[in-house]
Amino acid sequence: LKMLRRCAAVIASCRAMASIAATCQHVEVLVVGGGPSGILLSLLLSGYKGFAKSAPHPDAEVARRLQNVNFAVPVTDWDLAKVARGLQGRANNEICVLLDQLHLPSAESVHGHPSMLDMRRVATDAVPHLVVTDTVGGMWDAMNGTWATLSPGSWMQLPGWSLDAFLSSTGGTAKTQT
């Protein structure tokens, strides 16, 4: 029964998308879903790019690797494979480790450091797109209230957009369980 309801919801969403698409201007990309991936994809399609701060990185190895990068261009324009080669961390992919170290320097230490990334909009890189969803939050919107993220909430935020600031502006609070 649960699966049938979900199928009916998907069919209704598809009909709604067709109706929306018929009345919208031309868009190059249709993003289906408003979960974390859809929200991030929309941000990137809007022209936002991650730029690394030129401040010294707290990890000596990462700091050494950043000595020869161009901080004036987005991180995605760097030779990421070269800069990340051999890095080890919380991911199996070296580039993911590098991006993690830029976004959450020393995240697993008790001191943690602020993100070394700034999100800046490059309007000329924006791609016309439309996000179609019935709820924002994706599968997290349907999670039982007792479920919690396995990571600290601050790890879920984007560079330049503080989760605490958002919650304060909306009257929300972050719940912590140990």
Per-residue pLDDT of the chain (178 residues; tens, 9 = 90+): 566 666 566 666 666 666 655 656 678 888 888 877 888 889 899 999 999 998 888 889 999 999 999 999 999 999 999 999 999 888 889 998 998 889 888 776 656 678 889 989 999 999 998 888 877 666 666 666 666 555 566 666 677 777 677 777 877 665 555 4
Tokens of 4: 């049938």
In whole angstroms, give the CA distance from residue 123 to residue 47: 5
User: Is this structure's pTM higher than 0.75?
Assistant: no
Cβ–Cβ under 8 Å, residues 130 and 24? yes
- Find the length of the chain: 178
Sequence-ordered list of residues with C-beta below 8 angstroms from that of 128, at least 6 positions apart, any chain = 25, 26, 27, 28, 29
pLDDT for 23: 58
- φ, ψ (nearest 5 deg) of residue 144: -60, 140
Give the per-residue pLDDT at 133.
Answer: 82
* Alpha helices (H) along 29-74: 36-45, 60-65
pLDDT of residue 28: 86
Strands 129-136 and 29-34, bridge-based pairing: parallel
Across the chain, the runs of DSSP E, i.e. the strands, are 29-34, 48-52, 117-121, 129-136
